[in-house]
Structure 1
């Protein structure tokens, strides 16, 4: 046996032993199918995202971990070992923009040749991760603090499976493409896969310096470490697709991009942390498309354009990030439906629900290419364009998108109300589409008091409110663009919808709105947060609005952390469900904005405080997509939902929507004026200052000071906007 072969066998033996120990540690984790909470690192840049454990390793039992790009996992293993053993984590810190991370690691105790004992904490390894548009750069800096030179082996386990994201989530496929034999050299390893869509996907791992050995799925560097003399190893993991151009337009990405951030500070440093986290997450999730920035919905399962999520995120962040709203509006207009296509639920004028890339989308195994099965995105598009115009006075964009406005409004009237009863309803056309097409799109999210599921077509209460607001938005936009003959007709349509809505949806016994009407026009008689979103849209008259607020703040709906999606009194209530009793920060914020709209700012402040306090129990104050709806227990945090996306764009924006509501922002960029409707700081905040906000291009600088029950508004010396405080 030659020396080289002996050395190779020894290295492989060391690594195999480490794997046995590592897998043994994870047996209990694997038995739980990965549905347990463990701290993670999440990075995103452009269309790529990376999820690992806090070591920077990809844990086998965690299906969501890996390096993903264009809906595909390009890296399934990238685990670091020193002397054949995993490292111990000291700390990790993710950069504000969410694309870089510094991880500090150290060794466990081990023995090397001549029975030299190296104690735990003797070797320091800094692991730097930098996610770029189409590659992940990892730099390992190894420093010894042992008193004498130490010969060590650093190794990296690598692997790629090229799974489609939907397969990672659990979808079963009848066939796959061809996984190619990896190409291995001392300076690189190349994994490749020929997909059923004829796209060749490739992951190239380049090493600098070259590795001493590349065996099977392992890469080894033999290091001679001298005390306090760092050794650096750089690994560049490059993702590539060949023959993919026909499936998705590309846009050249800058090496780095950042959105300008305004500042919002208060006298509560922990609340400031929540606000900063939200702004950073919005920047992280906003992806540059050919039309501009679009806020991707969330990581890992929804890192792509979603119509509803994107528009609600834009509405939450609109005063703070108008460029994102502009990009989202242009993107959705560019993908507006123009034909009837049952497979994707496309119809003329309809706005998309979801756009995916990847092998399963390319092969039409899923309908999200794009998919249009959403009842509320189209009215939300009109609402968002109106609010964007009020803040920016960007009539150029409004004029450019007017044909899209007309098509969207026609869709609401012609396709949204097929039976002519005056209500907007949904019914899926695609076999592979969504059964429920409101924001609560789980299969079991719309039911009656006896627990029976509602049959479609279904008219959701909050969607009628969206349509009401959309008709008023169309009227406003027509007026701003000089199309005076259309102003009154859309106002009349809004008024007619309101009258019809109040006749059929008001639930007198519960002093709230029915969740929906089913196919037989039978009311879904359950109390839900949908009714609170009716307040957000403004469709509710003052008297009923006050009753709805009082009803929703009862204990069966408000659990102390936020608004439950469904009352505890409902037959289908389950605090651990996706939509039948859980708490969603964005939903809570929309309900709270509705409360504030009708003057109930104390209750809106309670909702803001609830999600603020919830954020204290999540790492880095990052609000997740949702959490469980169990009652709040004094001294303990909310119960986690096991597979909630985090970060999630509309969760990050929830506090901002409530702040905007409490301050009473009513923008009028046309007249260079900002009206503040009963501005109110919640009782747990005494001061707030806003800088670098803009109204129609003019600078806003405002301070708010609470004194007793009154909130004083003070304009900064550099404020350029007229204020109308009421």
Structure 2
């Protein structure tokens, strides 16, 4: 028997001038978000720290941010010049505070003093209150010490715009000002190109004799068992920022009430609770109500698409979040044509940033309107909100916005008049792909060639179909029967045209898109599953598409890949060409359930459920890599994924709602459970706090063999119908 050696192509080493091996150069090292970090959020401020509570000051996402700017880049706590050892860390359910337990490393302080590891305990409490970060250190020694010990904090700020942290290069900057040092603390400041002065005012308790522009230290004689408390407060300020102000504090809005969803599976309960905790943390109070900011660290601001999909996920549980989001978007609806921001009359915003670069229009997100799908999603969310709440006063208030949105779809979204919504960016500064898969290479042909715009995405036509159907419903609720009939006809025409243009008989699926020549992009993708979510697909083709999407090239065991493994551009480590996005998987799962594919939807939920057990605190991230599920191992992380991410928090609940078949008719005070099912491994489920109109609903769902039983709560004023 001879050894088999694979063929190996040996490449000559690239030599430098002295004949030595020349190491390849790293062209760009992007900031990354760690898989293990502490995330806090309060209002428009958020903190990303490591698990010791430190901000390392390196090229990472860590920092204290406010209004799109990093106000604190470094905050490191030391004992005798050494970092402490982390014992544990916990974040409060509200996301406003974190408790970190630390101890000393083994230290030879001097010739006579050696401290064993674990003899000094430090409790580090981080609290974020809007624009103020409070760090409280409670230090306790469990032995007598012969000499004082030095505890120190090193701090600093670069006042970088968030886009700079992400790696965007700027040609010009404002001016960092000299630090102002007093006996109480330090003020760090920066005058931006927008003429806004940004300040981080740091104060220390107790006062220290040793304060410089970037550090403070205390010399403490610790007595055994007697705690000593140190505190650092960092207050964030903006001066001369009134003309850029986009948000104000609002009083009189009631706090969000948490519903109860309890099953006989502890880990599923934990996953659902984690999602709601994160949603409440991401929800930010604007002048129009609550808005779920998209994600931390990169997307802590209003995104139209993310906000609307998150609202749809949570509508039965938090209708007031949908109301605030719809009102916010209506108030920022496009009114004019602007090539830089891609604003058009009636169009809904894609993204709205604050910060120096936005103020100076170095980036177009002021707000930016470059998305093809937010406007139809707005109409879908408005229709669903009315079904669940019967809030006709709000509908009357937003009806002009709805009409403008529908008109934009016809007059601007479909510029060539073929009945399909297409996108085409106007300037190079805009986003090239303007569906939810908005990376530059997310839409391609079967040979790998990128599609050229204008591009008509398959799932966006489904959104348009659902938007027209909702316009039919909303117009009917207001008594506008002729207008209702117009939109119903529009939906019917679109459905027929869509099936003729997008159905891919050979693959039993849908083309991902049509390019500018109306040539189909023949790649199997998760977009097809989102077509099912919208309801545009006839029953016969829906059954075929479900079977196709559940094959191993698409379903990897954890969730639905964005792109088939058979595609030339498939890369499981990419952003949109083979990765798994929990929200995408959930929308596909809800689409499956819509057409009776509840067993397949349950498999998708189980994949996310199992994946969550490998992420800290059962928190599903924005996305993870699309490698196949390997027994005994977790999913592969995507290095710059946001966590938490709003529409990832609601993904498990969205599939669960679809399995239960929840449909609301608040006008008739009725909740329908259509062919209810439970996840395959769950036998009981109890719901309290689901809203129909202004009424709470309570019910139980139980499995009895192959049968599912629904038992309404006795206190319900809402009729529950099982169909």
TM-score (norm 1): 0.94
1:151-300 correspondence to structure 2 within 5 Å = 151-252=148-249, 258-300=255-297
- What is the aligned length? 698
User: Contact (CA 8 Å) 1:133, 1:255: kept in 2 or not?
Assistant: no
Asked if residue 488 in structure 1 is aligned to residue 488 in structure 2, the reply is no
Name the CA distance, whole Å, in 1 between partners of 2:463 and 2:474.
Answer: 16
Match of 1:331 among 328, 331, 338: 328
1:535-546 correspondence to structure 2 within 5 Å = 535-546=532-543
1:470-485 correspondence to structure 2 within 5 Å = 470-485=467-482
Match of 2:673 among 654, 657, 676: 676
Match of 1:587 among 577, 584, 589: 584
User: Contact (CA 8 Å) 1:307, 1:351: kept in 2 or not?
Assistant: yes
2:18 is matched with: none
Asked if residue 95 in structure 1 is aligned to residue 92 in structure 2, the reply is yes
1:60: Cα distance to partner? Answer: 3.3
Name the CA distance, whole Å, in 2 between partners of 1:204 and 1:413.
Answer: 52
Asked if residue 560 in structure 1 is aligned to residue 552 in structure 2, the reply is no
Name the CA distance, whole Å, in 1 between partners of 2:299 and 2:469.
Answer: 31
Match of 1:66 among 36, 55, 63: 63
Match of 1:127 among 100, 119, 124: 124
Asked if residue 633 in structure 1 is aligned to residue 630 in structure 2, the reply is yes
Asked if residue 643 in structure 1 is aligned to residue 660 in structure 2, the reply is no
User: Contact (CA 8 Å) 2:250, 2:287: kept in 1 or not?
Assistant: no
1:34: Cα distance to partner? Answer: 5.9
Match of 1:141 among 134, 138, 146: 138
Deviates most, 274-283 or 422-431: 422-431
1:686: Cα distance to partner? Answer: 0.5
Asked if residue 450 in structure 1 is aligned to residue 447 in structure 2, the reply is yes
Match of 1:307 among 298, 304, 307: 304
Name the CA distance, whole Å, in 2 between partners of 1:32 and 1:294.
Answer: 33
2:394 is matched with: 397
Tell me the secondary structure at the aligned position of residue 65 of structure 2: strand
2:705 is matched with: 708
1:249: Cα distance to partner? Answer: 2.9
- Bigger proportion of residues as helix: 1
Name the CA distance, whole Å, in 1 between partners of 2:253 and 2:614.
Answer: 31
Tell me the secondary structure at the aligned position of residue 202 of structure 2: strand
1:13 is matched with: none
1:7-26 correspondence to structure 2 within 5 Å = none
Q: Deviations over 1:607-643 (max 9, x none)?
A: 0000010000000000000001111111111111111
Name the CA distance, whole Å, in 1 between partners of 2:227 and 2:601.
Answer: 54
Q: Deviations over 1:401-430 (max 9, x none)?
A: 000000000000000100001111000113
User: Contact (CA 8 Å) 1:313, 1:653: kept in 2 or not?
Assistant: yes
1:22 is matched with: none
Q: Deviations over 1:7-53 (max 9, x none)?
A: xxxxxxxxxxxxxxxxxxxxxx9998665855111111110110111
Asked if residue 505 in structure 1 is aligned to residue 525 in structure 2, the reply is no
Where do 5+ consecutive residues of structure 1 fail to align? 1-28
Tell me the secondary structure at the aligned position of residue 191 of structure 1: strand
Match of 1:435 among 417, 432, 437: 432
1:252: Cα distance to partner? Answer: 2.1
1:719: Cα distance to partner? Answer: 2.1
Name the CA distance, whole Å, in 2 between partners of 1:650 and 1:676.
Answer: 24
Match of 2:619 among 616, 619, 622: 622
User: Contact (CA 8 Å) 1:314, 1:324: kept in 2 or not?
Assistant: yes
| RMSD between aligned residues | 1.6
1:78 is matched with: 75
TM-score (norm 2): 0.95
1:44 is matched with: 41
User: Contact (CA 8 Å) 2:346, 2:405: kept in 1 or not?
Assistant: yes
After superposition, the Cα gap between the structure-2 partners of 1:36 and 1:68, relative to the gap in structure 1 and judged at 3 Å, is closer
Where do 5+ consecutive residues of structure 2 fail to align? 1-25
Deviates most, 361-370 or 51-60: 51-60
Asked if residue 351 in structure 1 is aligned to residue 351 in structure 2, the reply is no
1:370-385 correspondence to structure 2 within 5 Å = 370-385=367-382
Match of 1:687 among 684, 688, 705: 684
1:224: Cα distance to partner? Answer: 1.6
1:4 is matched with: none
Name the CA distance, whole Å, in 2 between partners of 1:274 and 1:714.
Answer: 24
Tell me the secondary structure at the aligned position of residue 661 of structure 1: helix
1:212: Cα distance to partner? Answer: 2.2
Name the CA distance, whole Å, in 2 between partners of 1:397 and 1:33.
Answer: 44
Name the CA distance, whole Å, in 2 between partners of 1:702 and 1:684.
Answer: 20
Name the CA distance, whole Å, in 1 between partners of 2:658 and 2:369.
Answer: 30
1:56 is matched with: 53
Name the CA distance, whole Å, in 2 between partners of 1:470 and 1:620.
Answer: 36
After superposition, the Cα gap between the structure-2 partners of 1:227 and 1:210, relative to the gap in structure 1 and judged at 3 Å, is same
User: Contact (CA 8 Å) 1:449, 1:571: kept in 2 or not?
Assistant: yes
Q: Deviations over 1:629-666 (max 9, x none)?
A: 11111111111111110000000000111011000011
Tell me the secondary structure at the aligned position of residue 340 of structure 2: helix
Name the CA distance, whole Å, in 2 between partners of 1:408 and 1:112.
Answer: 69
